[in-house]
Structure 1
Amino acid sequence: MTDQGRTGSYSSYGGSYGGSPYDTNINNNNQPSRQTVKFITAATIGVTLLFLSGLILVGTVIGLIIATPLLVIFSPILVPAAIVLSLIAGGFMFSGGCGVAAIAALSWIYNYVSGNRPAGTDTLDYAKGLITDKARDVKERAKDYGNYAQGRAQDATTGAY
């Protein structure tokens, strides 16, 4: 925005810019700009939050000063209790995680068996094909080795007589 008034030729129909040359621009000098209002608002909020954070810091320090002797006196009870509570909470979290994993696995198996295509099915089918091929190869090799061993055994028995 500019601080200069509009200039132009005045016509008999109200002026070239919609007003008479005698109108004053009220917005330029009497009202603060939006940036000033934004700055004052942000500064007010910032100072208020800074003051509140200082109060919270002072309250925390005072609470710590008051609670330190109690923590020292009761530490033989509180430390083992905290250890036991953390172990119990960890056990519950682990148990819950295993339960969620079991439910997810059973859901995946149900979807796979019922004919739906859950995520990872293509990888499972590929792995199943690889295992089937390897099993077939092992079966053929075992059969070949059995025939070879049987032939060697016959050669050994016929050659011994």
Structure 2
Amino acid sequence: MADRPQPHQIQVHPQHQYGGGQLLYGGGGKNVQSHRGPSTSQVLAILTLLPVGGTLLALAGVTLTGTIIGLAVTTPLFIIFSPVLVPAVITIGLAVTGFLTSGAFGLTGLSSLSWFLNYFRQATGATGSAQEQLDRAKKRMLDMAEFTGQKTKDVGQEIQSKAQEGKRTDTGGREK
């Protein structure tokens, strides 16, 4: 009977036994005694965070309790006044949606105009101070006015020459 293990005794396979502080299986040779406790900074962090976490957890519980009590008190009022509250909430929701949409469209329009203005400035090379931009604009307007005047003069001369040609063919083409 001595060969049989007793129920309260546990037999360990020889490969899983520790011998002299070394693991016998795996051949790692790591020392089991190298494990140390937490460092001082870890202990201080836990000591600091425990009261903060506890306080926040307590505040969450108080908030949940207050919310449940408030909901229990106001639910009958919501049910009684729902014929008034539901249209009021819908109206307020639509008004808020309208204001937000209007603001979004306004911002989109302003940003589009700003982008177009910057693009136009870069395309025309209008960079520099405001006075330089005004001088360039004046010069372009003068150039355009001169071009328009010259074009008008050319068109007037062309019309006049065609009119004189037409007069010559009228008088020269008819014989009385």
TM-score, length basis structure 1? 0.48
Structure of greater relative contact order (alpha carbons < 8 Å, 6+ residues apart): 1
Scaled by the length of structure 2, the TM-score of the pair is 0.45
Larger radius of gyration: 2
